[in-house]
Structure 1
Amino acid sequence: MWTGIDPTVLVTGAAGQIAYSLLFSIAKGDVFGKDQPVVLLLLDITPMLPVLDGVVMELQDCALPLLRDIVPTDKEDVAFRDLDAAILVGSMPRREGMERKDLLKANVAIFKSQGAALEKFAKKTVKVLVVGNPANTNCLIAAKSAPSIPKENFSCLTRLDHNRARSQVAMRCGVPATQVRNVIIWGNHSSTQYPDVHHCLVNMSGSELACFEAVKDDAWLKGDFIATVQQRGAAVIKARKLSSAMSAAKAICDHMKDIWSGTPEGEFISMGIYSSGNSYGVPEDLIYSFPVQIKDKTWKIVDGLAVNDFSRSKMEATAAELMEERDTAVSFLGV
């Protein structure tokens, strides 16, 4: 329902391929509401401004009734001003021969700068979603660089992994993905992430079954299923020669829509959020993917789920990777 206020929404990396799929969905009402006008701020680096002008022309040519204004820019003081939502897609991609340490160093500089811009210019209520990889650690750096904005307002995208896991189970069971709920992505948006289906439910022929009962193949669920979800991004790159864009844009829309509108009753989703050290033994001061429910634009971790030894070992492995990433990133700029 229209609030009478037009949300101001920033998308960075706005001339890139993910944004090309994302911007149309935001502008036509898939995220903030079917009758909710929006203002789009589009940030990219200076060499990409001619491409961004073409994106703006296409958005204008869609004649979308909810798109109140579009502001393309290469300036942070323009892009981050008075924001209600910031979707940080742009980041330094990993290039051939680049070590992960080099990738972290480049992205620390970007996300420290963007965090500082959020601190200086954005509303303190802004909801920030970090997509650019390494997403968890980039999100942590941005949050640390905006100390007056609550850390709870920052999240990173693991919804794509969540959607991938949900879809793999659905295909295995021969049902639509909408019939599968409560998969969990624990940890890092990397190949150490743990897609967990121990609490997943599958609706088959009107009856809701536990995932292991519905699939009837424990070896697959503990083996190839996990590997497929963990390696799906690499598989897409191998096939397309480009990284996931359409599915990433859909996941961003799902994530932000749930923040704005809440999660369905009895359902939880996965998102990378700030760990205070009080849930599931996950260390504090990490952005770690948990199962959450959202109401009134506020997430709450779904606590009290049983965790067996198999799950615990995988949750700890991805936490260890995140701690190493964090410590390396923080060492570069002292944020």
Structure 2
Amino acid sequence: MAEPIRVLVTGAAGQIAYSLLFSIAKGDVFGKDQPIILILLDISPMLPVLEGVVMELQDCALPLLNDIIPTDKEEVGFKDLDAAILVGSMPRKDGMERKDLLKANVAIFKSQGAALEKYAKKTVKVLVVGNPANTNCLIAAKSAPSIPKENFSCLTRLDHNRARSQVAMRCGVPATQVKNVIIWGNHSSTQYPDVHHCMVNMSGSEQACFEAVKDDAWLKGEFIATVQQRGAAVIKARKLSSAMSAAKAICDHMRDIWTGTPDGEFTSMGVYSSGNSYGVPEDLIYSFPVQIKNKSWKIVDGLAINDFSRSKMDATATELIEERDTAVTFLGV
């Protein structure tokens, strides 16, 4: 057997983690022959709940799970990490201004970035899930200057999966027959689900999405709005957030980092913009189409961008710049 890897999940007593931990521990993410030490970090008041989660993981009797370490201490949680999945964040409460939400989260992700810097391996792969995910990810990366910016990403795979599924349902095919949708920009209602490069396998032959769907008005209107507002729709229906689908998306995202994307396919990830791709400003975490090989992502460059797409990509970049500039004022640097 391989040496065990150390995987941290924050917010580990929460809803998303409860749907996530079993999949990680049984080998769905890092491989069926990769032993794991799971480190579960949460705030002190959640430790009794976390103890129950630990009991359940123990009771699963999973062959790959070498150890489980529940903790409320960053120096324990971030030590020698191979992978960090930062789920925990301050949720938006009734009456809370977005600025207040950013301020609370800057404090959390500045602290966790500093802990990564101090305790984790420099090769650690960091996935930020807690919202506002793009900006939280940027703050964490800025707070861990000796860890490459390329090692940080934020979750837009849930939006990517939602877009794939909407197209698949419209075409009457399984979601596996839809590839190369793109989520551009922020994991917010300004994100742009783009299907101009998407292909749909219809009865064994690949067709461009617009040909397969045959409804341009839907693809440029209701489809985009549905993907942008899907999280809110789930909360309205379920009275709870989309934990199961978020957990599945986290698994998909981390598995792709570990094992790569299939040939000829790309996925969507919030990654660091150096200002060299698609006119997106530098120093943002922005969702791009990426391909992954040897645990390294590369933006898929050279895709044609029409005026419709350009305006939507710019709008979400503008929101991210505002978020970043507000967040940086709270950094105290």
With normalisation by structure 1, the TM-score equals 0.97
Superposed CA offset, 1:7-34 (max 9, x none): xx00000000000010000000000001
Task: Report SS of the residue matched to 1:333.
Answer: coil
Equivalent residue runs for 1:223-238 within 5 Å:
223-238=221-236
Superposed CA offset, 1:191-241 (max 9, x none): 000000000000000000000000000000000000000000000000011
Q: CA deviation at 1:190?
A: 0.1
Distance 1:260 1:270 in 2: 15
Distance 1:80 1:322 in 2: 28
Distance 1:38 1:92 in 2: 28
Task: Report SS of the residue matched to 1:202.
Answer: strand
Q: CA deviation at 1:333?
A: 1.8
Distance 1:93 1:168 in 2: 27
Q: CA deviation at 1:35?
A: 1.6
Gaps of 5+ in 2: 1-6
Task: Report SS of the residue matched to 1:140.
Answer: helix
Distance 1:37 1:176 in 2: 32
> What corresponds to 1:14 in structure 2?
12
Distance 1:211 1:124 in 2: 41
Q: CA deviation at 1:146?
A: 0.1
Distance 2:147 2:180 in 1: 30
Q: CA deviation at 1:334?
A: 3.0
Which one of 292, 314, 317 corresponds to residue 315 of structure 2?
317
Q: CA deviation at 1:63?
A: 0.3
Superposed CA offset, 1:22-63 (max 9, x none): 000000000000121111000000000000000000000000
May I ask how many residue pairs the two structures share in their alignment? 327
Distance 2:331 2:292 in 1: 33
Task: Report SS of the residue matched to 1:203.
Answer: strand
> What corresponds to 2:28 in structure 1?
30
* 1:201 partnered with 2:193: no
Task: Report SS of the residue matched to 2:330.
Answer: helix
Distance 1:21 1:10 in 2: 15
Distance 2:14 2:265 in 1: 32
> What corresponds to 2:78 in structure 1?
80
Distance 2:297 2:180 in 1: 15
Q: CA deviation at 1:153?
A: 0.1
Task: Report SS of the residue matched to 1:282.
Answer: coil
Superposed CA offset, 1:163-185 (max 9, x none): 00000000000000000000000
| Aligned structure 1 segments of 4 or more residues deviating by more than 6 angstroms | none
> What corresponds to 1:178 in structure 2?
176
Q: CA deviation at 1:267?
A: 0.3
Task: Report SS of the residue matched to 1:171.
Answer: helix
> What corresponds to 2:329 in structure 1?
331
With normalisation by structure 2, the TM-score equals 0.98
Identical residues among aligned pairs (%): 91
Distance 1:300 1:92 in 2: 31
Distance 2:27 2:167 in 1: 29
Superposed CA offset, 1:286-330 (max 9, x none): 000000000000000000000000000000000000000000000
Task: Report SS of the residue matched to 1:152.
Answer: helix
Distance 1:121 1:186 in 2: 33
Q: CA deviation at 1:151?
A: 0.1
Distance 1:79 1:300 in 2: 29
Task: Report SS of the residue matched to 1:199.
Answer: coil
> What corresponds to 1:44 in structure 2?
42
